[in-house]
Amino acid sequence: MLRGKAFKFGDNISTDLISPGRYFHLRSDLPELAKHVMEDADPSFASRVKPGDFVVAGKDFGLGSSREHAPLVIKMAGVSAVLAKTAAKIFFRNAFNIGLPVLICDTDKINEGDELEIDLTAGTIKNLSTGAELTFGKIPEVMLKILNEGGLVPYIKKYGDFAL
């Protein structure tokens, strides 16, 4: 069970907004890079987010570059899941690979600051602030397996191969 507060963002949050290219030189210093998470979408995010919280966005979250640093810095900030109407393909796959679930759902039913409770196995999102109940799109089976192992590295270490 995941529980935390919603931080709301709009549509088309690119990887440039999540982890700006001007911090390119920090890519091998992840804790430093993570200090700038979401900086160009909301400069105050990094200082306000708490472990367990959620990034809640509109459509096409994570479009743009293939930088896996984008989901990584979100995860390092303590975020337990990203909720979006749709997500860009490379971001989506990268996020599961590093153990960060991306849940596709109707995020219009979630407001900034709402308290959410998410049951990944049951596929439900409870909005404790409004009482609304949401469901999210089925996580593709391969990705669920990868997520359950904590990401692709632990998955491969365990199975030694793709065990689809």
Binding residues vs another protein (CB under 8 A)? 12, 14, 16-17, 20-22, 24-29, 40, 59-60, 63-69, 72, 86, 88-90, 93-94, 97-98, 140-142, 151-153, 156-157, 161-162, 164
Q: How far is the CB of 87 from another protein (least distance, A)?
A: 8
Angle between helices 141-148 and 152-159 (to 10 degrees): 90
For another protein, the closer CB: 5 or 69: 69
For another protein, the closer CB: 5 or 93: 93
Q: How far is the CB of 119 from another protein (least distance, A)?
A: 25
Pairing verdict, β 54-56 and 81-84: parallel
Instruction: Report yes or no: 27 and 33 within 8 Å, Cβ to Cβ.
Output: yes
Q: How far is the CB of 77 from another protein (least distance, A)?
A: 17
For another protein, the closer CB: 28 or 121: 28
Token pair in block for residue 48: 């306000």
For another protein, the closer CB: 4 or 151: 151
Token pair in block for residue 45: 């995010």
Instruction: Report yes or no: 151 and 99 within 8 Å, Cβ to Cβ.
Output: yes
Q: How far is the CB of 126 from another protein (least distance, A)?
A: 28
The identity of residue 161, as a single letter, is: D
DSSP per-residue codes, 57-101: --SSBTBS---THHHHHHHHTT--EEEES-B-HHHHHHHHHTT--
Residue 42 burial (C-beta neighbours within 10 Å; 0-12, 13-18, 19+): middle
For another protein, the closer CB: 50 or 89: 89
Q: How far is the CB of 130 from another protein (least distance, A)?
A: 27
**Site of tokens 């160009």:** 40
